[in-house]
Structure 1
Amino acid sequence: MTRTYDPRHTAVLLVDPFNDFLSEGGKIWPRLAPLAEKTGLLDHLRAVVTTARATGTRLVFVPHRRWEEGDYETWTHPNPTQLGIMERHSFARGTWGGEFHPDFQPQPGEIVVAEHWAQSGFANTDLDFQLKQHDITHVVLIGLLANTCIESTGRFAMELGYHVTLVRDATAAFQPEMMHAAHELNGPTYAHAITTTDELIAAFEGASA
């Protein structure tokens, strides 16, 4: 990958790094584990986060709504994911599952944006405002899930005029077909770059050298 990422104008968006997704014992981890382990998800997330911090690239946490009693129950059109959250109580506020994975804790000065209710990290949150206030033009999406929140956030970012990068092995999904769709079918219609962790790290380090 020959492109470079100016750390002054680039942000890594870490989407939904919750224990329920990423940790043994998490409510959703058993469904995610086969592909997450195959792609080396956790190691790649650690590598991107570490490199972003080392190169002065901004790290932005983009969390899903933490479930609370009564969420969605009076809504006219809760989506299938929200109905599942109502049943499983995924990412419940005040519980271990609703906390960020211990390896992905915000450091002082890092941004944690308002929680998104559905799939896009931009809809009904302050993500766009925060990025513009920090002069960000390029966003790199990592985290979960490849075919839902990552894709929806990436599409929205493109519509808002950001340069969008997807990282094949710093995300995961429940089925191989979902990963294929995210990166081979849908991603090329909106993302400006689709890369790997190793390629991204080389570009970050090259830009900061």
Structure 2
Amino acid sequence: MAEIYDPRHTAVLLVDPYNDFLSEGGKVWPRLEPVARSVDLLDHLRSVVAAARENGVRVVFVPHRRWEPGDYESWDHPTPSQRKIQEFQHFARGSWGGEFHPDFQPQPGEVVVQEHWGSSGFANTDLDMQLKQHGITHVVVIGVLANTCIEATARYAMELGYHVTLVTDATASFSPEMMHAAHRLNGPTYAQAIVTTDQLTAALGPW
């Protein structure tokens, strides 16, 4: 693969690594599990994060809004996804499901950006400012869900001028069709690189 990832200017964006998504007993895990297991999601997330840290690539946590009582109740037009969060209290603040998976905990010096209300990790958060303040030009977007928060965050990154990499087996969604749309149909319209975990970790270093 031809892409070069200078660790001084590259960040891995780890999107929504909550227990509700990634852990046995999580509220959303049963829907995600078939695809997650088929792509070996958790091991690939571990591999990308470990390779980034070993090679000096910044890891940035990009969390969804943790549900709190009253969220969305007075909104004029919440999205269908926000209505589901309201109904099922996904990633509730103060709950186990609203904590990060134990294997994906921020280390000292790593940034946890402001929580996003919708799908994009950039909209109404400090993500763009944090990346620019750390000299980042290239972003590798991993986590969940492939066809919602991953795609929205990655598309927004492209619009802001970042070089975007998608990692096909370090994300998952609720169906193979959603994965196909995210990586085979939509991804090529905005991402500069669409790779596997093995391809990415080889490119990350040693640099």
TM-score range, shorter chain: over 0.9
Partner deviation per Cα, 1:151-188 (whole Å, 9 max, x = no partner): 00000000000000000000000010000000000000
Give the superposition deviation at 1:102. Answer: 0.1
SS of corresponding position for 2:100:
coil
Return the alpha-carbon distance in structure 1 between the equivalents of residues 100 and 109 of structure 2.
17
1:98 aligns with 2:98: yes
The alignment's TM-score, normalised by the length of structure 1, stands at: 0.98
Alpha-carbon deviations, 1:95-132, whole Å to 9, x = none?
A: 00000000000000000000000000000000000000
Specify every segment of 5 or more residues in structure 1 that has no aligned partner in the other structure, as ranges. none
Across the two proteins, how many residue pairs are aligned to each other? 207
2:195 alignment partner AA: T
In the alignment, structure 2 segments of 5+ residues that lack a partner are none
Report the Cα distance in structure 1 between the residues aligned to 2:161 and 2:175, rounded to whole angstroms.
Answer: 30
Q: Which residue of 1 aligns with 2:28?
A: 28
**Correspondence for 1:137:** 137
What SS class does the counterpart of residue 4 from structure 1 fall into?
Answer: coil
Residue type matched to 1:154 in 2? Answer: A
Q: Find runs of 4+ consecutive structure 1 residues off by over 2 angstroms.
A: none
Describe how 1:59-138 pairs up with structure 2 within 5 A.
Answer: 59-138=59-138
Q: CA separation in 2, counterparts of 1:51 and 1:159?
A: 27
* Counterparts of 1:33 and 1:11, CA distance in 2: 27
1: CA distance, partners of 2:50 / 2:125: 26
Supply the RMSD in Å over aligned alpha carbons: 0.5
Question: Is residue 50 of structure 2 the alignment partner of residue 53 of structure 1?
Answer: no
The aligned amino acid for 1:134 is: H
What is the distance in 2 between the residues matched to 1:151 and 1:157?
10
Q: CA deviation at 1:2?
A: 2.2
Give the counterpart letter for 1:62 in structure 2: V
Q: Is the 8 A contact 2:3 2:193 kept in 1?
A: no
Aligned to 1:41: 41
State the TM-score, normalized to the length of structure 2. Answer: 0.99
Q: SS of 1:96's equivalent?
A: coil
